[in-house]
Amino acid sequence: HTPLFKILKEIRQLGCENEAQCSAAYRLYIHLCEERHLWDVQYYYSQQHNQIYLTARRQQDSPPEIYIPVPTFEGVSMTDIDRYQTELTTSGGSDGSATSVIIAFCDPSSSVLLYKLTNTV
């Protein structure tokens, strides 16, 4: 395992210049690894969307899910949500097989609230 302080440094080096988003991604990474015990937690930066996102698996053999870290004070628009669902699930991580998008609201107090998005008509 990479030490946690190195993870934050690596997240900052992905290319995102929004420090709040980097901190939220770091908080989400810790949440997914240490509190949820998910598998294969990876982090990426989409330059096109100016957005850091993470992928993780619930079980070792389950498909990856996409996690979008959002600082609670920034919020997220319906337009953003639609874009994440259509574009990130097709490019999702290294193997392009991500199935769902989960918005993770990350509070400065260190709490993380996960909201799974579903495609409803």
Q: C-alpha distances in angstroms, 97 versus 22, 45, 67, 85? A: 24, 17, 14, 13
Distance (Å, whole) CA 37 – CA 10: 21
Cα 83 from chain centroid? 14
Contact 49, 66 (CB under 8 A): no
May I ask the CATH architecture of the domain 4-116?
A: 3-Layer(aba) Sandwich (3.40)
Going by C-alpha positions, the residue among 118, 109, 33 that lies closest to residue 73 is 109
Q: What is the pLDDT along the chain (121 residues), one digit of tens a residue?
A: 667 789 999 999 999 999 999 999 999 999 999 999 999 999 999 998 889 999 999 999 999 999 999 998 887 888 888 888 888 776 554 555 667 899 999 987 878 999 998 765 4
- Parse the chain into domains and list their residue ranges: 4-116
Residue 12 structure tokens: 């900052």
Q: What's the pLDDT at 22?
A: 95
Q: What's the pLDDT at 20?
A: 94
Q: What's the pLDDT at 73?
A: 86
pTM over 0.95: no
Q: What's the pLDDT at 121?
A: 45
